[in-house]
């Protein structure tokens, strides 16, 4: 790490310093460093408030640009926009990721429509790069107007704790809407990490650059490229089943179980504070990058709802774009019922997650950890939806609904007439579970490929993804 890392977290770093933190030392080469805006006269400066070029991260090429908020608030004019656009074009031509450090007050007033046209070119290039090369936006300060749309068009958004982003600033909001809010109340990281606009939050510029580097370590250089593989690391502990209570009503943190499966220290959760009943994360298994999607019983029992369906669909689509295999861990009672969810469009959003899984072409392996009921069983990458392999742990239950509510429907009259309806319900529920819900029943019917012990999950996943990776390598050779 260079001397830049020693700069205090509360000081704004220059564009060069931010780029230096991201790139391997001495590898960055700028482009268009002498360009100036003809509209600004004596206020014009070389570079026009943005630094762009090519560097390397962990030895791999990357395109990068960084805006300078110390110059005219990082506002975007035509020349400024053309530098960003040029960097993105180079990324497309070279087939390398692009990372943007964004801090801008929006379109430059002095340049009017020319500035707006510059944003239009950038937005179009963002869209052209989608699914072609990875795009990462790092928000290190205040970004407004067009400075928000471009990040929203990229694959990942990282914010620092002191950053804020919004389409319309507090002053205009007060004038038009009568709302008196601060920048952070309007669009601070606490807002955007809960609404899904930002994927990761870092303490400061140093942390945000490290997060961008970590993200790149899970991603290929371009769509169809080989994933970066590193040496395998043992998981944090050997038995993930120890983290899962046998009582299906008892909550737990799915992330703890995952750390007993993936390579130690490799679980990088994406959007951890948005739709918290679903975990989306990058990790490694036997040194190979994988995308992890898992129900989170710690929040709302792991149910799927409108927000978690959107979150899951977006992550599945991103992994599919860049050839990242998916490991899906299921422990869900179903979809959240009620008028609020129906009004929120849970049907539409749930269907989006179904579509994302069904259309995905990357290797997909599902593990039913404890329960998978109803429409959520199908939606969470069931075998019939296209999972390459489906495993279940002993004691897991799969079916239309849990045993207790099922017998309440099937034996309603019998229960109503019973002297001890509670005892009868328990007896009937036990019999129903044994006949219809057990993992062994699902395996016998072919809906599950194998019932596996929790401590064998890592080995099975490593074998599955390794076999499919070898198959892909053979295709490339042919």
Active site residues: 145-146, 375-376
Length reported for the chain: 478
DSSP 272-302: TTSSTTEEEEEEEETTEEEEEEEE-TTTGGG
CA nearest neighbour of 130 among 92, 83, 158 = 92
In 220-346, the DSSP E strands lie at 268-270, 278-285, 288-295, 326-332
In the chain, the N- to C-terminal Cα span, in Å, equals 42
276-292 exposure pattern, b = at least 16 Cβ within 10 A, e = fewer: bbbbbbbbbbbbbbbbb
Residues 140/160, Cβ–Cβ less than 8 Å: yes
The DSSP symbol for 455 reads G
Residues 164/187, Cβ–Cβ less than 8 Å: yes
SS (H, E, C) 167-180: CCCHHHHHHHHCCC
CA nearest neighbour of 19 among 157, 217, 205 = 205
Query: Exposed (0-12), middle (13-18) or buried (19+): which is 244, by Cβ within 10 Å?
Result: buried
Residues 379/304, Cβ–Cβ less than 8 Å: yes
């Amino acid at each position: 790490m260079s001397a830049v890392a020693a700069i205090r977290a509360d000081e704004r770093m220059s564009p060069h310093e931010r780029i230096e933190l991201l790139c391997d030392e001495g590898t960055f080469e700028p482009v268009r460093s002498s360009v100036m805006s003809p509209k600004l006269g004596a206020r014009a400066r070389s570079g026009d408030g943005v630094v762009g070029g090519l560097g390397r991260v962990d030895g791999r090429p990357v395109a990068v640009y960084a805006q300078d908020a110390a110059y005219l608030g990082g506002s975007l004019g035509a020349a400024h926009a053309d530098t960003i656009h040029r960097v993105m074009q180079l990324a497309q031509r070279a087939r390398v990721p692009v990372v943007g450090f964004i801090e801008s007050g929006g379109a430059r007033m002095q340049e009017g429509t020319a500035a707006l046209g510059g944003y239009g070119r950038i937005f179009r290039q963002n869209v052209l790069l989608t699914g072609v090369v990875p795009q990462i936006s790092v928000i290190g300060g205040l970004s407004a107007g067009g400075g928000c749309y471009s990040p929203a068009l990229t694959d990942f958004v990282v914010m620092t704790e002191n950053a804020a982003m919004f389409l319309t600033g507090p002053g205009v909001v007060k004038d038009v809407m009568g709302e008196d809010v601060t920048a952070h109340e309007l669009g601070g990281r606490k807002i955007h990490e809960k609404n899904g606009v930002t994927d990761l939050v870092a303490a400061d510029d140093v942390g945000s650059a490290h997060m961008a580097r970590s993200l790149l370590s899970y991603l290929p250089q371009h769509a169809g490229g080989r994933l970066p593989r590193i040496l395998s690391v043992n998981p944090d502990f050997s038995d993930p089943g120890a983290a899962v209570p046998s009582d299906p009503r008892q909550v737990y943190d799915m992330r703890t179980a995952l750390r007993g499966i993936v390579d130690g220290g490799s679980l990088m959760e994406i959007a951890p504070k948005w739709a918290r009943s679903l975990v989306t994360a990058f990790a490694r298994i036997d040194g190979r990058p994988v995308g992890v999607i898992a129900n989170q019983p710690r929040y709302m029992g792991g149910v799927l709802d409108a927000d978690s369906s959107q979150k899951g669909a977006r992550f599945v689509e991103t992994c599919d774009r860049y050839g990242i295999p998916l490991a899906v861990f299921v422990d869900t009672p179903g979809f959240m019922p009620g008028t609020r969810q129906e009004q929120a469009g849970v049907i539409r959003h749930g269907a989006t997650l179904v579509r994302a899984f069904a259309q995905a072409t990357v290797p997909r392996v599902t593990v039913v950890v404890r329960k998978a009921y109803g429409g959520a069983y199908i939606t969470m990458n069931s075998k019939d939806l296209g999972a390459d392999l489906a495993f279940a742990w002993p004691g897991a239950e799969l079916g239309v609904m849990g045993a207790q509510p099922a017998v309440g429907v099937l034996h309603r009259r019998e229960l109503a007439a019973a002297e001890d309806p509670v005892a009868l319900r328990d007896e009937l529920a036990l019999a129903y579970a044994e006949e219809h819900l057990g993992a062994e029943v699902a395996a016998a019917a072919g809906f599950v490929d194998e019932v596996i012990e929790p401590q064998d999950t890592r080995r099975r996943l490593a074998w599955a993804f390794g076999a499919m990776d070898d198959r892909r390598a053979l295709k490339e050779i042919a």
